[in-house]
Amino acid sequence: MQQQSKPSRPTDAAALVLGYCNFSSGAFDPTVWRAMSDLFAAIEPASGAGSAGNTGGTNDEQSVTECPTSSEQVAAVLGTRLDILAASEPAFRDSTQARAILEIVFSRLLPAYREYHADLLEHQPPGAIERPFFVMAAAQAVLAAGGPWDEPERYAALVQSSILQLNDYVGWRPMAVLENGRLSEPYGHERVRPIPLFIAGVGAAHGRYKNLVAGAIEILASAPPRL
């Protein structure tokens, strides 16, 4: 009697991201980061030629227009896909953690991050920082903070601790501090998270800079080691 093979688990980009949100404790997973980039790419497809005179270029040669509401659209796609998975996949029958992560990251943390860094990010238009790899960094920070995920009253504290976890870089300091010649510990709002454009093991994030960044990395990789 022929043994029946087990049904394969969904491996589409949304399912991969949701599986990470539902079961991970915040470990880095390059497959999921790539999947998040793919979700943004589906909403912001490449269009047009990347350079003058190019009338039939490949995807790599085409340009991308970033949409101000892409992260909101990705959140909607993930929410709809999660409903389907919860109804059809035993592994997602309990989707409490994934639903909490979606709410905390997209509805709370991303707006709160802009508010926290209002002085630094006020000139950034909607959608400029809510890019695929920044969203994944936010999700990873929230997951690392840990549950329980069925206590919405904890979400505000989770958002604040996740923002502090994200802020791992001092990119600028007030002029008065730089000119007084004394070393001092940066205060909280001086620490920020640069928007990731490339992650080793993942590649360049989808967006208007993808081809530029990927090309630069390729050049660096092929350069002589002594350089």
pLDDT at 137 over 80: yes
49-56 own/partner pairs: CB under 8 Å, 24+ apart: 50/211
The domain limits of the chain are 13-222
The answer on pLDDT for 50 being more than 70 is no
Buried b / exposed e along 13-52 (16+ C-beta atoms within 10 A):
bbbbbbbbbbebeeeebeebbbbbbbbbbebbebeeebee
199 touches 33 (CB < 8 A): yes
- Select the more confidently predicted residue: 124 or 187: 124
Token output for 68:
């101000």
pTM of structure? 0.86
- Token couple for 155: 């979400």
Give the whole-angstrom CA distance, residue 152 versus residue 103: 10
**DSSP alpha helix (H) spans, the chain:** 13-23, 30-43, 70-88, 96-102, 110-116, 118-121, 132-145, 155-166, 175-179, 210-222
Over 80: is that where the pLDDT of 63 sits?
Answer: yes
- Indicate the length of the chain as a whole number: 227
Question: Per-residue pLDDT tens for 142-192?
Answer: 999 998 999 999 999 999 999 999 999 887 776 776 677 677 777 778 889
Share of the chain above pLDDT 90, in %: 74
Q: Radius of gyration over alpha carbons of the chain, in Å?
A: 20
